Amino acid sequence: MDELTKRVIPCLDIKNGRVVKGINFVNLVDAGDPVQSAITYEENLADELCFLDITASSDNRDILIHLVEEIASKIFIPFTVGGGIRTLEDIRAVLQQGADKVSLNTAAFQRPEILTQASEIFGSQCIVCAIDSKFNPERNRYEIYLHGGRTPTGREALDWAKEAEERGAGEILLTSMDKDGTKDGFDIPILKMICENTNIPIIASGGAGNPEHMSEAILRGGADAVLAASIFHFGTYSIHETKLAMQEMGIKVRL
């Protein structure tokens, strides 16, 4: 896919081996079987698939490697895996099981050198730095949270995004905790700020409610890709419908 083509990426948030979806990172409801979901999304023209084991870090356990292997064996689109990945060995294992990219969040923040090491060993194109941010009204800035949104760090989001890029991350998955699951649109101010101050692709996440929101994230926010869960999992919109609507807005997509 050429780099002018904007990507639409469904996200499978996994808990206890099932796809779940919540609002603002809590009140999770079941949204189906991950393997079947993955197959359906590929058939429905997803450009990539993102698999996040959302409780691996907070439960302090390893990622569900058997699920990664099973999904990778059934789909042919690029596949990003995150959640509970802490070491270079973890990254190697996930890539060996068929993932194309690895998403690092808590581990990258706590030990930023892993981004440098991983990008040198595996190539920056497969290292995604996932950033969960929330607006702090008292300080009037966006700040980073770890452990699936449970742990505030007080660190400014743009500062960390720039460091992640410098250390070798090939892409940033930027999730707005304020917008997560609300379906009322992406957080354009932080998206725009990070897109304008970094030179790697930014995936917008958190808040997609309709294809117009996705178009807005690209046209106003500057995102290279849009990630969504609720609107796809529960059949509100199909990926194909979403892409057609985005194309009508003048965005180049793969159909």
DSSP string, 83-137: SS--SHHHHHHHHHTT-SEEEESHHHHH-THHHHHHHHHH-GGGEEEEEEEEEET
Q: What is the pLDDT of residues 135-186, one digit of tens each?
A: 999 999 999 999 878 899 999 999 999 999 999 999 999 999 999 888 899 9
pLDDT at 24: 61
Are 119 and 127 in contact by the 8 Å Cβ rule? The answer is yes
d(CA 161, CA 120): 19
pLDDT at 61: 59
Residue spans per domain, the chain: 7-248
* Given the residues 13, 53, 90, 180, the one annotated as active site: 13
Of 88 and 232, more confident: 88
Answer whether residue 65 shows pLDDT above 90: no
3 state SS of 23: strand
Q: pLDDT confidence of 53, banded at 50, 70, 90? A: confident
13 noted as active-site residue: yes
34-38, 54-58, 213-217: the lowest-pLDDT one: 54-58
pLDDT at 63: 58
Answer whether residue 1 shows pLDDT above 60: no
Answer whether residue 2 shows pLDDT above 60: no
Across the strands, what pairs with 82?
A: 52, 103
Are 157 and 168 in contact by the 8 Å Cβ rule? The answer is no
Mean pLDDT of 228-232: 86
Report the run of H or E that residue 204 belongs to, with start and end: strand 202-205
3 state SS of 175: strand
3 state SS of 230: helix
d(CA 93, CA 12): 20
Q: Find all residues with CB under 8 Å of 37, minimum gap 6, and list them.
A: 10, 12, 19, 31, 233
Q: What is the pLDDT of residues 3-34, one digit of tens each?
A: 689 999 999 988 888 888 766 656 667 767 88
Answer whether residue 76 shows pLDDT above 80: yes
Q: What is the pLDDT of residues 83-134, one digit of tens each?
A: 889 999 999 999 999 999 999 999 999 999 999 999 999 999 999 999 999 9
59 noted as active-site residue: no
Task: Specify the CATH superfamily of domain 7-248.
Answer: Aldolase class I (3.20.20.70)
* Given the residues 47, 53, 90, 132, the one annotated as active site: 132
